[in-house]
Amino acid sequence: MSFLKVEKLCLCYGEDTPENRVLEDINISINEGEFVAIVGPSGCGKSTFMKLLSGLLKPLNGCMFMNDELINSPRANVGMAFQNSIMLPWRTTLQNLLLPLEVSPSTKKTFKKRKLEYIERAKQLLATVGLAGMEEKYPWELSGGMRQRASLCRALIHKPSLLLLDEPFGALDAFTKEELWCVLRDLWQQEKFTVVLVTHDLTEAVFLADKVLVMSARPGQIIKEAEIDFERPRDLEIRYKSKFVDTVHELRDQIKSARHSLLNKDAA
Ligand X SMILES: Nc1ncnc2c1ncn2[C@@H]1O[C@H](COP(=O)(O)OP(=O)(O)O)[C@@H](O)[C@H]1O
Residues that bind Mg ion (CB under 5 A): 47
Nearer to Mg ion, 43 or 144 (CB): 43
* 21 binds ligand X per the rule CB under 6 A: no
* 47 binds ligand X per the rule CB under 6 A: yes
Nearer to ligand X, 20 or 189 (CB): 20
- Smallest gap, in angstroms, from Cβ of residue 155 to ligand X? 18
Site string for ligand X, 179-218 (x = CB under 6 A): ---------------------------------------x
The burial of 238, by beta-carbon neighbours within 10 Å (0-12 exposed, 13-18 middle, 19 or more buried), is given as middle
* 22 binds ligand X per the rule CB under 6 A: yes
Pairing of strands 21-30, 211-215: unpaired
- Give dist(CA 37, CA 199) in Å, integer: 7
| Residue 210 and residue 179 in contact, taking contact as beta carbons nearer than 8 Å | no
- Give dist(CA 56, CA 61) in Å, integer: 15
Stretch that binds ligand X, among 39-47, 139-147, 150-158, 241-249 (CB under 6 A): 39-47
3-state secondary structure of 223: strand
Given 48, 96, 128, 254, the residue binding ligand X (CB under 6 A): 48
| From the list Mg ion, ligand X, none, partner contacted by residue 42 (C-beta under 5 to 8 A by kind) | ligand X
# chain residues binding ligand X, by CB under 6 A:
10
| Nearest Cα to Cα of residue 50 among 215, 227, 185, 254 | 215
- Smallest gap, in angstroms, from Cβ of residue 105 to Mg ion? 28
Under 8 Å CB-to-CB from 161, ≥6 apart: which residues? 3, 32, 66, 77, 78, 193, 194
Is the omega angle on the peptide bond into residue 139 within 30 degrees of 0, that is, cis? Answer: no
Nearer to ligand X, 121 or 218 (CB): 218
Q: Which residues bind ligand X (CB under 6 A)?
A: 13, 22, 42-48, 218
